[in-house]
Amino acid sequence: MQVCPDLSKLVDEIEAGAGALFVAEEGMFGKNMERLTDCVARQPAWSDLPFIVLTSRHEAPRVVAWREDLSVSLRNVSLLERPIQPITLSTAVRSALRARARQYEVRTLLDERERAAVALERLVAERTRELRDTNDELIKQMEERARVEETLRQTQKIEAIGQLTGGIAHDFNNLLMVILSGLEMLRRQDDLGRRERLMDGMQQAAQRGSALTRQLLAFSRRQALKPEPLNVALRIGGMRELLDRSLRGDVHVAFDFSDDMWSVEVDAGELELAVLNLAVNARDAMPNGGNITIAARNCPGLKDTGLDGDYVRLSVADTGTGMSHEVQAHVFEPFFTTKDIGKGSGLGLAQVHGFVTQSHGDVRIDSELGRGATINLYLPRSENAPRDEPQPVDIPIERADALHCGLVLLVEDDTEVAKLTTEMLGHLGFRVLMAESAAAALGALANGRSVDLVLSDIMMPGGMNGVELAREIKRRRPELPLLLTSGYAEAARSEAEAIGVVILPKPYRLDQLSTALQLLTKTMGR
């Protein structure tokens, strides 16, 4: 207990941590209490310092009013009127100290809560930082995985094309021989019947070369997977020529597809690549030759581990050496191979497994040593109907009076192709204005010449390709018909479709060019 002679000392004791105050009103009445009231007003939220004020019996209005103001300014005030019994005073003081002790407990709890809140906030910040770092690392891993998967696909495509190289080189040399020798014989031949047979042979050779080139481009393309509804029997059945060129002469391939096959929704190129990989693996498992059977069946209501629903089962079976259970446990791992060094990368079955799982299907192996192997691809049934395969339109080759022809601006940087196209357009009744680049074409259009149609290649030198040229022409002359051509139409198809321009794939025949021009002029209302 401390005894204070004046208000200044009282405030000092309050600031030092006094628990309760017992004050006679005479010590405060008429005094400057600004420092005391300011000290009380600055108390923290948990504090309500108790004052016990000993009053007199004076009931003068001024004194009564002062007492009321005192209760307001000091907040927690208990008034005890003289004379006061000792028990009353001691009880009041104990109650004040007890209340003050509870306030200290609240202060302690508030301090602990504040410390806990700070600790929790620090913990949340640390966990948030850890989660952010983990998320960043996960994103990096996902990007790296996507890059590795893309590299895996491209590497496997390169390996698959490498498997084809020898056979394709042989076939293309045969095709070129038919064309070159046929042209030479054509110059020496006067008999119209024999000239016709020579030209038919050269045309068939060129068409075979075009088909092989389209398949190679489909395998080598670099783009995201594009699932589409397709018929497995039609798609795989169309690989006959490609498979014949990928396998040895002592390996026989047979197809066995059931009728009324369901459609599946997968990337067509990846499906063909998977079948090619399986066929090449089967060939390598039959060093002395054998049979490969590619079959497809509808499998309704399958219920098995990882399979639940309707599936199409695509099987590639061989009569080769087979696989042990130990090998089967690892065959889908990237770079795992049982082949000799330099004869396989171990990516074939990894590509197949990745493609099928991305397509929400599954791969199963049925094999024993010495009894061949069957790889079953289970692909989910699609409710969407396959898109119709583009069929050549049989439209007669018409001349100028039917096509309402005029002047064609031909944009082509290859001189030989330009000469041939000029001849074809001339045969159809068109006049031709040549330009070797997009810049030259825009210059020709800018000089006021009346052009009825623009036929442009896509891949050209000079910094502006055919699609960009078409976009610029549409901006300048939106009514002018445009037709683009390309040896690899898929590379720019989406860009061309976005601006409403048709692409005619190279190589094209006279009837195909005639059909495209007719459709174009009809669409443009000419």
State whether 358 and 439 are in the same domain.
no
Among residues 382, 410, 437, the one where a domain terminates is 382
The CA distance from 185 to 176, in Å, is: 14
State whether 343 and 472 are in the same domain.
no
Copy the structure tokens of residue 37.
């009231």
The CA distance from 27 to 52, in Å, is: 13
State whether 375 and 446 are in the same domain.
no
Decide if 64 contacts 38 (C-beta within 8 A): no
Indicate the DSSP class of residue 82: S
Among residues 382, 409, 444, the one where a domain terminates is 382
Note whether residue 167 is domain-resident.
Answer: no
Please give the full DSSP string across 228-255, using - where no structure is assigned.
Answer: EEEEHHHHHHTTHHHHHHHS-TTEEEEE
Q: Residue 17, by phi and psi: left (phi above 0), alpha (psi -120 to 50) or beta?
A: left
Q: What pLDDT digit, counting tens, does each position of 288-310 carry?
A: 889 999 999 999 998 887 788 99
Report in angstroms the alpha-carbon separations of 470 from 411, 425, 442, 456, 512. 11, 20, 10, 8, 21
Q: What Rg do the C-alpha atoms of the chain give, in angstroms?
A: 46
Note whether residue 283 is domain-resident.
Answer: yes
Note whether residue 129 is domain-resident.
Answer: no
State whether 28 and 66 are in the same domain.
yes
* Model confidence at 209: pLDDT above 60: yes
State whether 312 and 425 are in the same domain.
no
Question: What is the 3 state secondary structure string of 16-69?
Answer: HCCCCEEEEHHHCCCCCCHHHHHHHHCCCCCCCCCEEEEECCCCCHHHHHHHHH
Note whether residue 128 is domain-resident.
Answer: no
Can you give the residue range of the structural domain that contains 75?
7-84
Decide if 385 contacts 262 (C-beta within 8 A): no
More confident residue, 223 or 505: 505
Peptide bond into 507 cis (omega under 30): yes
Note whether residue 290 is domain-resident.
Answer: yes
Picking from 29-43, 258-272, 328-342, which range would have the lowest pLDDT averaged per residue?
328-342
Q: What pLDDT digit, counting tens, does each position of 85-142 carry?
A: 989 989 999 999 999 999 999 999 999 999 999 999 999 999 999 999 999 999 999 8
State whether 426 and 296 are in the same domain.
no
State whether 260 and 367 are in the same domain.
yes
Pairing of strands 453-457, 407-411: parallel
Pairing of strands 290-304, 307-318: antiparallel
Confidence of residue 56 (pLDDT cuts 50, 70, 90): confident
What pLDDT does 57 receive?
Answer: 83
Note whether residue 407 is domain-resident.
Answer: yes
Q: What pLDDT digit, counting tens, does each position of 58-100 carry?
A: 888 898 899 899 989 998 999 998 888 989 989 999 999 999 9
Among residues 382, 408, 436, the one where a domain terminates is 382
The CA distance from 335 to 329, in Å, is: 14
Q: Cα 172 to the chain's mean position, in Å? A: 37
**Amino acid at residue number 188:** R
The CA distance from 74 to 78, in Å, is: 10
State whether 359 and 234 are in the same domain.
yes
Note whether residue 448 is domain-resident.
Answer: yes
- What mean pLDDT is reported for the chain? 82
Confidence of residue 257 (pLDDT cuts 50, 70, 90): very high
State whether 409 and 347 are in the same domain.
no
Q: Residue 267: enclosing H or E segment and its boundaries?
A: strand 263-267
* Domain containing residue 34: CATH number: 3.40.50
Looking at beta carbons, which pairs linking 101-105 to residues 24 or more positions away fall under 8 Å? 101/19, 103/46, 103/47, 103/48
* Domain containing residue 335: CATH number: 3.30.565.10
State whether 346 and 448 are in the same domain.
no
Note whether residue 136 is domain-resident.
Answer: no
State whether 360 and 429 are in the same domain.
no
